[in-house]
Amino acid sequence: MDINKNEIKLKINNKTYSIPINNFYYSDGIYNVIKAIKAGWEYKDNYWEKDGIKLKHLYGIILQIFEEKDHKFLNVKDKSVLDIVHL
């Protein structure tokens, strides 16, 4: 791990990932960032992406929805979804 004022570099499975510091605030900490990377989410310039899904901020709750399938009961398959979070 390498930390500077703008980003944190993580080495996971022999690959280095550069994640801007502010993403750790939105993701509720380093644990969720590591969990997201291990689940296949990629940080690209200013958004997270996996399987065609693009997110500006990867909140911990989003991992629950997409990775732990907490949304199964909602029947959102093949539908556009808008998630509004109030901080």
pLDDT at 22 over 70: yes
- Nearest-angstrom CA–CA distance, 84 and 3: 31
Q: Is the pLDDT of residue 31 over 60?
A: yes
Supply the pTM of this predicted model: 0.70
Q: How confident is the model at residue 41 (pLDDT cuts 50, 70, 90)?
A: very high
Q: How far apart are CA 35 and CA 74, in angstroms?
A: 24
**Phi then psi for 41, rounded to 5 degrees?**
-75, 140
Closest CA to 20 of 54, 57, 52: 57
Dihedral sign for Cα 40, 42, 47, 51, please.
negative
